[in-house]
Structure 1
Amino acid sequence: MRTTEQDLDELSRGLAAWLSGPLAANGPVSLTNVQVPEGGGLSSVTFLADAEWREGGRIRRRPIAARVAPENSSFPVFPEYDLRLQYDVMAAVARHGRVPVPPLIGIDATGRTLGSPFLVMDRMPGEKPGDNPPYVFGGWLYDASPDQRRAVQDATVDVLAGIHSLPEPATRLPALSTGGKDALRCHYDRTTAHYEWSRRSDGMRIPVLENAFAWLEERWPRDTGEPVLSWGDARPGNILYEDFAPRAVLDWEMAALGPREIDLGWYVFLHRFFQDIAESANVPGLPDFARRDDVVETYEDRTGYRVREFDWYLVYAAVRHGVVMSQIARRMIHFGELTPPEDPDGYILHHEALDRLVKGTYAWPTR
């Protein structure tokens, strides 16, 4: 699935020239083993490489990962890509948090070097569950033992708890401040604005999303708790694991302030999204992984926090993901990878599940 119209060789040449400064290299830097990670990166351009330069007559090598904001012509998934904010969030989590993030190398937020802003970090060892194809169809997590999968499930909850424990997130990350407004309302308003932005070129309304927005408004949570740092894209596919333990937490482009349940709902729903795809293909998938009751119970045990009105946040996760999926569908159409669906709801791969969630007929797995 394409995310850019830029040439990878051109990007790597420009990045190599820029890296001399951040790496404090005495001479030119070259990039070798340049590759795009398989099965990941649905919104921005991510590529991996080895940076090499000479120092004292010897070749130094440092594995790197670069994230480049997509150009406007490639139908980006989000209205804006604030890589400076992502960089600052990762830096704050590294300094004050309890979860592992890759060491940061540098950022060009101007876009002058490559034509788009980018950030560079160390490439960390480990592997993550795949997105494309989803990990429910096979791979190391699928092949793991039940105890090993449970270790990944619980460790992922621990990552969420660690992110949510970042002290004074609004002070440490003023760009995330809601200016005294309710954090959930601000988060929700950005989601509705994202939906309206996605309609800017075709004006198309998606009934299943608009019905769900109305449902969410009518059932607004009574008590949202103290806002915390919300990771945003909170799922195992954005974590590198070694020996079934987190080694690095990645992809902070959806970070914001908000209730803890935003991340918990996203984690649970995104697994069910993949599991529903597997079951529709008559593949067993991983029905016992990341079940809602297990995730909630583990989080409450780890933190002492009582999760509130979780059904609302599960619908909200499905809506947020629906907005993202509708824009990904538009981009696939733009690149000739998808025929436009006749029904607007067809732009949302999980439109049937979202409809059942709103109607209260979605069948969640039980223990």
Structure 2
Amino acid sequence: MAKPRRPVACATDEAVIRGSLDTTRHRDPALVAARLTQWLAARHPGGRVETIEAPLASGASSELFFVSLSGVELEGRPAAEAVLRMAPAYAVYPHVDLAAQFRCMDLVARRSPAPVPRVYFCESDPAVLGAPFLLMERRHGRGAPDWPSYVRQGWLHDLAAAEQAVLWRNAVEVIAAVHRTGLAPQDVAELGLPFGGATLLDQSLRYWRRYLELDRQGGRYPELEESVAWLERQRPNADFAPTLVWGDASLRNMLFDGLQPCALMDFEFAHVGIHAFDIAFFALMDYVMAEGFAGGAPRLPGFPGVQETLDLYERASGRVVPHREYFVRMALTYMSLATTRVFQRLAREKRVPPDLVATNPPLRILGEVLRSGKLPP
């Protein structure tokens, strides 16, 4: 596949990547800690926040704080550390529902072997902290950083190719574990994508169309228009079994203990949907990180390509990944819709030049796929 053309101001620049990872802070951590202490004390007399830390990068779709607690016992044991995830002032997604995120994470934690942190509380009243929030278990491990990119340096880069292959296979297996989460009829009815549709595929297509309408508020993007229309026009005539999908499956959203994932994070887009989309997203994201955000750097030698990763998933899960081209294109469309929305915010906040919105890495790769008809290998 030909390398996408890059603009003079490049979305692989350090300042751009760091900006895309950091949510603009709207809240004073000390004030958040004081209000959270009041809220905790009403539920756990004597409970309080001892320390609060705002990580340098908390992602583009939420605002995070790490908190240490005292006097709080959750599920029969002291809760010394937690993560506070607050809904952002700028919505990346066309629909944000923290209660649904809570339910999805809780289902995976309770009904699957996947290493998902327990979610302790969901508070939907924005008056408490200024926005709805989740309070969840904090886990520790080594991550796959965006900057400096794990593709170019760091512990993942320094692993032997055979170790990288084991780590990748383990990551695929935990995604298969997420997909084994048991679902009751009520879960299927209530945790699908929110804009209606008679089938899971109908729901997905309506969601992409709504996402496109959201992105249109900041400009016109012919690649997004064409790709969403292609998905609608080429939809397979098939039924899909309801599956709890992560929605943002990638190495970047995992923590590792050795070569084994020990925590899965960022369930903002978790929903009952189609397993093929979820694993296609995972398979494609590493390519986008290397080819797009790392400026065309070679992928790590132990990581297989998209099709081989889908084969690995089939062996790990016992489930076929049908209509592969369709769902890989769907995954790339989603990446492009979401990243365009993030870059619109960056441009509005004058952290990137406005012309980078229409040349962000996933969108450039999507344009190349549309022009060539060839998917990433």
1:345 and 2:362 correspond: no
Counterpart of 1:193 in 2: which secondary structure?
A: helix
1-structure distance, mates of 2:236, 2:347: 37
How far off its partner does 1:170 sit? 4.5
1:18 and 2:55 correspond: no
1:45 and 2:69 correspond: no
1:187 and 2:204 correspond: yes
Alignment of 1:158-237 (within 5 A): 158-168=173-183, 170-172=185-187, 174-177=189-192, 181-200=198-217, 202=218, 204-237=219-252
1:307 and 2:317 correspond: no
1:263 and 2:271 correspond: no
* 8 Å Cα contact 2:200/2:240 also seen in 1: no
How far off its partner does 1:31 sit? 2.8
1:146/1:307 CA distance change after superposition, 3 Å: same
2-structure distance, mates of 1:240, 1:231: 15
Counterpart of 2:262 in 1: which secondary structure?
A: strand
1:243/1:213 CA distance change after superposition, 3 Å: same
* 8 Å Cα contact 1:65/1:123 also seen in 2: yes
1:40/1:28 CA distance change after superposition, 3 Å: closer
1-structure distance, mates of 2:138, 2:72: 20
Which is worse superposed, 289-298 or 1-10? 1-10
1:324/1:287 CA distance change after superposition, 3 Å: farther
1:363/1:107 CA distance change after superposition, 3 Å: closer
Which letter maps to 2:358? D
Alignment of 1:269-288 (within 5 A): 269-277=284-292, 280=295, 283-286=297-300, 288=302
- Structure 2: runs of 5+ lacking an equivalent: 1-18
Please name the residue that 2:29 is paired with: 8
How far off its partner does 1:337 sit? 0.4
* 8 Å Cα contact 1:30/1:53 also seen in 2: no
2-structure distance, mates of 1:52, 1:13: 13
Please name the residue that 1:251 is paired with: 266
2-structure distance, mates of 1:161, 1:227: 14
* 8 Å Cα contact 2:88/2:131 also seen in 1: yes
* 8 Å Cα contact 1:89/1:173 also seen in 2: no
Please name the residue that 1:155 is paired with: 170
Structure 1 residues 165-204: Cα deviation after superposition (integer angstroms, max 9, x where no partner) = 122355335421477711012012112101202323x4x2
Which is worse superposed, 220-229 or 85-94? 220-229
1:292 and 2:314 correspond: no
How far off its partner does 1:360 sit? 4.3
2-structure distance, mates of 1:302, 1:165: 11
* 8 Å Cα contact 1:62/1:122 also seen in 2: no
Structure 1 residues 15-70: Cα deviation after superposition (integer angstroms, max 9, x where no partner) = 23322345x3x4251332x3233444221001112113499xxxx77011110001
2-structure distance, mates of 1:235, 1:3: 19
* 8 Å Cα contact 1:271/1:290 also seen in 2: no
1:36/1:143 CA distance change after superposition, 3 Å: farther
Structure 1 residues 268-288: Cα deviation after superposition (integer angstroms, max 9, x where no partner) = 11111101036635x434254
TM-score of the aligned structures, taking structure 2 as reference length? 0.85
2-structure distance, mates of 1:16, 1:135: 37
* 8 Å Cα contact 2:61/2:88 also seen in 1: yes
How far off its partner does 1:131 sit? 2.7
Structure 1 residues 259-301: Cα deviation after superposition (integer angstroms, max 9, x where no partner) = 21111111011111101036635x4342542411221111111
Choose from 80, 83, 107 the match for 1:92: 107
Structure 1 residues 77-136: Cα deviation after superposition (integer angstroms, max 9, x where no partner) = 123321111111111112212212112221211112101000111211212211344321
2-structure distance, mates of 1:163, 1:54: 29
1-structure distance, mates of 2:295, 2:190: 42
1:330/1:298 CA distance change after superposition, 3 Å: same
2-structure distance, mates of 1:341, 1:223: 40
Counterpart of 2:247 in 1: which secondary structure?
A: coil
2-structure distance, mates of 1:257, 1:54: 32
1:30 and 2:49 correspond: yes
1-structure distance, mates of 2:240, 2:140: 36
Q: How many residues align?
A: 350
* 8 Å Cα contact 1:137/1:278 also seen in 2: no
Counterpart of 1:264 in 2: which secondary structure?
A: helix
Q: Percent identity?
A: 26
Counterpart of 2:209 in 1: which secondary structure?
A: helix
2-structure distance, mates of 1:143, 1:120: 34
TM-score of the aligned structures, taking structure 1 as reference length? 0.87
Please name the residue that 1:144 is paired with: 159
